[in-house]
Amino acid sequence: MSTASSLRPVPALDLLLADLRELVECESPSSDLAAVERSADLVARLGGERLRVAPERIVVDGVHHLRWTFGADRTDGRVLVLAHHDTVWPIGTLARQPFDVTGGVLRGPGCFDMLAGLVMAMHAIAMLDDGLDDGLDDRLGDGLGDGLGDGGRDGVTLLVTGDEELGSASSRALIEAEALRSSAVLVLEASADGGALKTGRKGTSLYEVDVAGRAAHAGLEPEKGINATLELAHQVQLVAALCDKDLGTTVTPTVATAGHTVNTVPSWGRFAVDVRAWSMAELERVDTALHALAPVLPGAEVRVHGGINRPPLEESSSLPLFERAQAVAARLGLPLLTRASVGGASDGNFTAGVGTPTLDGLGAVGGGAHAEDEHLLVDRLVDRTVLVHGLLRDLLGGSDDRT
């Protein structure tokens, strides 16, 4: 008798790598709308080839998002697969960090976070119509696959957004609306250390603190000024003190600037604040405290902009799906799954925040997200894609155990 692992559909590694190379070499920094549009064009073409249908293009505030909806009439048991095609790397990074595969390690800007996950999502969904086909390479030959229906994919929505790395301002409403009509969300963000799935993420808040003082000549009459740099220094200390190490709440002043010239008492200053917390209660505590900041120096002014960005992804939202993924992996003979809670946020925070069960970190195995050593392990691309495919079949009501 054949085993389930020997009968499962298996994606062709060469196609996974070819698609990933195209995406990595189409640089897509979030803040460059033209680059994001070019990237969306490429994702639409690749997805159209793999899924045999063009996506819906959704443009919000100039940002290009893509959506594939299969079995639109199905209202129960829908599964949202979530990815993004923007990266943190500026145009030109590819020249010094080219796409490369050496010794089983793949490198290139955005490969790990999260272009590989996007490629895996497209291939895993494509395999839902492959039955017991043993690869995507045969199915995608000239003329093959014609006339096949979407029945195996009914109930799947693939949403690929273009501004995740900037906080998803233009895509949040779209993400939450799709989550509300889904029974589960699978997020193809990169894995945690060692391939662990992400069952918990901190929530995030983003702020700018503006400080106003009064300018004066720094040499002739500095006493007539109100030094915004000094006020900024006071506020930075007050803000940093809002952290709570016992609860894991971090409040981190980041980028700061003040003044215009070196011989003038600065009349203005500004600094950014990054907040991370495991609970909404902590995010709300810090939010209240930040908006209540008052100046320390007489005559200075303080204004706070921003607020809570992403709610926490709490383990209660993820553990049932994680346990289901473990069972699927065991049936398919895939590597043992582990889980982790991490400080970074994703669009999975939004989907969990509206009450939809969410499992994150299903993407590539590797490391170095947002860092010069960003990389992934080539030999894990196939088994992770098979896992996503198997979990989709399970959630849609199919069977993964075809012994």
Q: What is the pLDDT of residue 6?
A: 42
As beta bridge partners, residue 342 has 201
Q: CA neighbours within 13 Å on the CB side: how many for 221?
A: 5
Phi, psi of 232 (to 5 degrees): -60, -40
Q: Residue 10 corresponds to which amino acid?
A: V
Instruction: Report the alpha-carbon distance of residue 246 to residue 29 in Å, rounded.
Output: 36
- Checking if the pLDDT of 1 tops 50, the result is no
pLDDT in tens, 377-388: 999 999 999 999
Catalytic residues: 86, 164
Q: Considering only CA atoms, give the Rg of the chain.
A: 24
Q: Residue 275 corresponds to which amino acid?
A: V
pLDDT higher at 59 or 11: 59
Q: CA neighbours within 13 Å on the CB side: how many for 342?
A: 21
Residue 151 pLDDT level (bands cut at 50, 70, 90)? low
Asked if residues 346 and 189 have their Cβ atoms less than 8 Å apart, the reply is yes
Instruction: Report the alpha-carbon distance of residue 157 to residue 72 in Å, rounded.
Output: 9
CATH (one of 3.40.50.10320, 3.40.640.10, 3.40.630.10, 3.40.190.100) for 4-201+312-396: 3.40.630.10
Domain ranges of the chain: 4-201+312-396, 203-310
Percent of the chain's residues with pLDDT above 90: 88
Q: What is the pLDDT of residue 130?
A: 56
Q: What is the pLDDT of residue 233?
A: 98
* 203-310 under CATH 3.30.70.360, yes or no: yes
Percent of the chain's residues with pLDDT above 70: 91
- Checking if the pLDDT of 149 tops 80, the result is no
Task: Give the N- to C-terminal CA distance of the chain in Å, as an integer.
Answer: 7
As beta bridge partners, residue 339 has 197
- Checking if the pLDDT of 321 tops 80, the result is yes
- Checking if the pLDDT of 5 tops 60, the result is no
Phi, psi of 348 (to 5 degrees): -65, -25
Least reliable range by pLDDT among 139-153, 206-220, 309-323: 139-153
Mean pLDDT of the chain: 92
- Checking if the pLDDT of 260 tops 70, the result is yes
Mean pLDDT of all residues in 260-289: 97
Q: Residue 34 corresponds to which amino acid?
A: A
| DSSP tag of 226 | B
Q: What is the pLDDT of residue 365?
A: 98
- Exposure string of 204-239, with b = 16+ CB inside 10 Å and e = fewer, is bbbbebbbbbbbbebeeeeeebbbbbbbbbbbbebb
- Checking if the pLDDT of 347 tops 50, the result is yes
Q: What is the pLDDT of residue 4?
A: 45
Q: What is the pLDDT of residue 62?
A: 98
pLDDT in tens, 18-34: 999 999 999 999 999 99
